[in-house]
């Protein structure tokens, strides 16, 4: 049986450690894991039926681990009867920050947030604000605007994507990520940066294990259940002495877990997938 790991081509090299863990885990289970670049796929509708093929692959996989932000492609695989982890609904919600905030609204404390288009001329919220590309991830296309000039510059960098604007939390440079595998908590980590208002590991932040408390853990579990999640990261900001929901990472990075020697999340993820497919 064959599993595809689907990436944007530009992200394959920098994720080689994670990919190698998948190749090793697959061999241990007698499975073949293959890396497929999204750009090599040919897909659409032919003679009234969905079709899909990859230049480097002979035949189709029995499941896909989607490591690209591609909800339409995920839905296409699912339409062909090929399970995708994470599923297309989760991918659609969690790869658009506006949809993520709509999903979480009324369930979790959150910063005030405004959805805007690139044509706005001033912030709808008082400065300073954080301006985010609606479909950005990994801390990329996230900007701090302290005045109207920097706000307009942020929108110019984000365009043509839509954006959302949040008030700046009172503890910038720190956040909490809760790793979820299904509805089970894998690990909760505090991420922090001494030089940036963002706390992403890919931008140089540090991390250490941190207990966010039962209520926040239960909230992350509730989100995972509602989304029928595979492996995700649920992120919270620190503001006014409490944790407030920030976003959900779909193709979540795992370098924090491996850096701290926290088991082998890829092996655990593969076991989770196989259990789901056998259920």
User: How far is CA 115 from each of CA 42, 100, 166, rounded to the nearest angstrom?
Assistant: 34, 12, 9
Query: Is the pTM for the entire model greater than 0.95?
Result: no
pLDDT of residue 261: 77
Residue 79 backbone phi and psi in degrees, to 5: -65, -25
- Which pair of tokens denotes residue 17? 């450690």
Which residue has tokens 């706000």?
A: 151
> What residues pair up with 179 in beta bridges, in sequence order?
187, 233
Residue 32 backbone phi and psi in degrees, to 5: -110, 120
- Residue ranges and CATH numbers for the domains of the chain are 2-85 (3.40.50.20), 93-105+171-273 (3.30.470.20), 113-167 (3.30.1490)
> What residues pair up with 134 in beta bridges, in sequence order?
none
- Are 251 and 231 in contact by the 8 Å Cβ rule? The answer is no
Query: At what angle are helices 16-28 and 265-278 packed, to 10 degrees?
Result: 50
- Are 26 and 32 in contact by the 8 Å Cβ rule? The answer is yes
pLDDT of residue 256: 83
pLDDT of residue 72: 98
Degrees, nearest 5: CA angle 207-211-213: 145
pLDDT in tens, the chain (279 residues): 899 999 999 999 999 999 999 999 999 999 999 999 999 999 999 999 999 999 999 999 999 999 999 999 999 999 999 999 999 999 999 999 999 999 999 999 999 999 998 889 999 999 999 999 999 887 789 999 999 999 999 999 999 999 999 999 999 989 999 999 999 999 999 998 876 666 555 555 688 899 999 999 999 999 999 999 999 999 999 999 999 999 999 999 888 888 877 789 999 999 999 999 996
Q: Model confidence over 145-162: pLDDT tens digits?
A: 999 999 999 999 999 999
Q: b/e per residue, 186-219, with b = 16+ CB within 10 A?
A: bbbbbbbbeebbbbbbeeebebeebebeeebbeb
pLDDT of residue 207: 82
Compute, in degrees rounded to 10, the torsion defined by CA atoms 56, 84, 217, 241: 60
In angstroms, the CA 129 to CA 113 distance is: 10
- Give 74-80's long-range contacts (Cβ < 8 A, gap of 24+): 76/43, 76/50, 76/52, 77/52, 79/50, 80/50, 80/52
Degrees, nearest 5: CA angle 45-50-51: 90
User: How far is CA 214 from each of CA 211, 221, 236, 237, 243, rounded to the nearest angstrom?
Assistant: 8, 10, 14, 16, 12
Type and span of the H or E element at 237: strand 231-239
């Amino acid at each position: 049986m064959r599993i595809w790991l689907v990436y944007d081509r530009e992200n394959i090299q920098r994720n080689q450690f994670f990919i190698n863990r998948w190749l090793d885990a697959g061999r241990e289970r007698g499975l073949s894991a293959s890396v497929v670049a999204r750009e090599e796929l040919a897909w659409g509708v032919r003679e009234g039926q969905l079709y899909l093929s990859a230049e480097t692959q002979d035949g189709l996989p029995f499941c896909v681990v989607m490591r690209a932000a591609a909800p339409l492609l995920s839905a296409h695989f699912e339409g062909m009867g090929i399970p995708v982890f994470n599923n297309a609904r989760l991918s659609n919600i969690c790869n658009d920050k506006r949809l993520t905030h709509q999903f979480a609204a009324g369930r979790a404390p959150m910063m005030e947030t405004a959805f805007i288009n690139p044509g706005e001329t001033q912030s709808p919220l008082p400065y300073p604000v954080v301006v985010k590309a609606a479909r950005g991830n990994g801390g990329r296309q996230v900007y701090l605007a302290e005045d109207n000039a920097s706000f307009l510059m942020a929108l110019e960098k984000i365009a043509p994507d839509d954006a959302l604007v949040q008030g700046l939390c009172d503890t910038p440079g720190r956040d909490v990520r809760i790793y979820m595998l299904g509805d089970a908590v894998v690990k909760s980590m505090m991420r922090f940066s001494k030089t940036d208002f963002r706390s992403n590991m890919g931008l140089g932040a540090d991390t250490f294990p941190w207990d966010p408390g039962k209520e926040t853990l239960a909230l992350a579990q509730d989100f995972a259940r509602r989304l029928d999640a595979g492996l995700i990261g649920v992120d919270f900001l620190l503001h006014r002495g409490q944790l407030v929901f920030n976003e959900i990472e779909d193709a979540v990075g795992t370098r924090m877990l491996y850096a701290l020697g926290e088991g082998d999340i890829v092996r655990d993820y593969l076991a989770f997938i196989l259990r789901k497919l056998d259920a």
